[in-house]
Amino acid sequence: MALEICHHGFKPWQALQAHQDRMQPGSFGATATFVGTMRDFNEGDGVQSMTLEHYPGMTESQLQAIIDDAHQQWPLQDVLLIHRVGDIEPGEPIVLVACWSAHRAAAFEACRHLMEALKSRAPFWKKETLTNQSSRWVEKNTAGYSSH
Amino acid sequence: MTKTLGSIRQCVHNENMPVKVKLFASMREYLDLNETEIPIENIETVADVWQAIAGDKPMPENTLCAVNLEHTNEAAGISDGDEVAFFPPVTGG
């Protein structure tokens, strides 16, 4: 298991490969991955950049609890979770969640569960700077199971 | 010498630790306050902590609160030395 709050840009696919290279070959049969990437639009406006604030200490403890919950619910070989904080530009990755398990169902379901739990419990906040130079806090996340 | 040390220990034991309060994101801007400490006297719940730092300013709808890094609610009890945080709905991921 690895959990990282990242204060600089990160490369999710390289991080995923590096983590998997440290796992025992043959110990898993399924890998499910989610990568969240910053858009240059939100609610009809152009977005130039974003600042991600968090609550140091609580962020780590909440994410650890979310990962522990997933391990309780599904037979997972491993979990990798990386979340960016600080100043971010469109196209940069915000979050990586990866789950390894023997079979696909546990990996798919746990990966989805981890993302939804993160979005409702982990203390992160986004402030957008729009292309017209105004700024605003993002007030709530989209509903993960109903929006498209 | 022993007596002096004993009285120092007693003094430390009786001294209440203040409550540490942190605010994040739009809540920090709403109260123009990042972090502070308040005496535990007259503080019993999270709601009391809000009143101590915000005065007459109402708590915005959808405000979330945490005590010692765990999500909780306004009615939660507070002990000396606790860390209390107020923040808007989270928007990570």
Residue with tokens 């990996």: A107
Confidence band (pLDDT; 50, 70, 90) for A141? confident
Total domains in chain A come to 1
Residue with tokens 């796992």: A23
Phi/psi zone of residue B25: left (φ > 0), alpha (ψ -120 to 50 degrees), beta?
Answer: left
Q: Is the ipTM of this complex over 0.85?
A: yes
Interior CA angle at A15 toward A97 and A108, to 5°?
30
Residue of A61, A115, A125 lying closest to B90 (CB–CB): A125
Contact of A139 with B91, CB cutoff 8 Å: yes
CATH, residue A11 = 3.90.1170.40
Tell me what pLDDT residue B36 has.
98
CB contact under 8 A, A83 and B87: no
pLDDT for B6-54, tens place per residue?
Answer: 444 444 445 789 999 999 999 999 999 999 999 999 999 999 999 999 9
Cα–Cα distance measured from residue A85 to residue A52, given in angstroms and rounded to the nearest whole number: 5
Closest-CA residue of B relative to A94 is B93
> Residue A147: inside a domain, yes or no?
no
Contact of A117 with A123, CB cutoff 8 Å: no
Interior CA angle at A83 toward A79 and A86, to 5°?
165
Partners of A125 in beta bridges: A53
Closest CA to A76 of A35, A23, A118: A23
Q: Is the pLDDT of residue A129 over 80?
A: yes
Closest CA to A111 of A71, A54, A148, A83: A71
Domain extent for A86: 2-20+30-137
Total domains in chain B come to 1
> Residue A146: inside a domain, yes or no?
no
| Residue A46 burial (CB count, 10 A) | 13
Closest-CA residue of B relative to A82 is B93
Provide the token pair at A95. Answer: 């979050």
CATH, residue B34 = 3.10.20.30
Mean pLDDT over residues A136-144, rounded? 88
Distance from CA of A119 to the nearest CA of B (A): 5
DSSP class per residue in B22-65: EE-HHHHHHHT-SEEEE-STT--BHHHHHHHHHTTPPPPTT-EE
Closest CA to A124 of B87, B11, B38: B87
Tell me what pLDDT residue B2 has.
40
Mean pLDDT over residues B67-73, rounded? 98
pLDDT for A26-75, tens place per residue?
Answer: 999 999 999 999 999 999 999 999 999 999 999 999 999 999 999 999 99
Domain extent for B80: 16-87
Tell me what pLDDT residue B3 has.
43
Tell me what pLDDT residue B14 has.
52
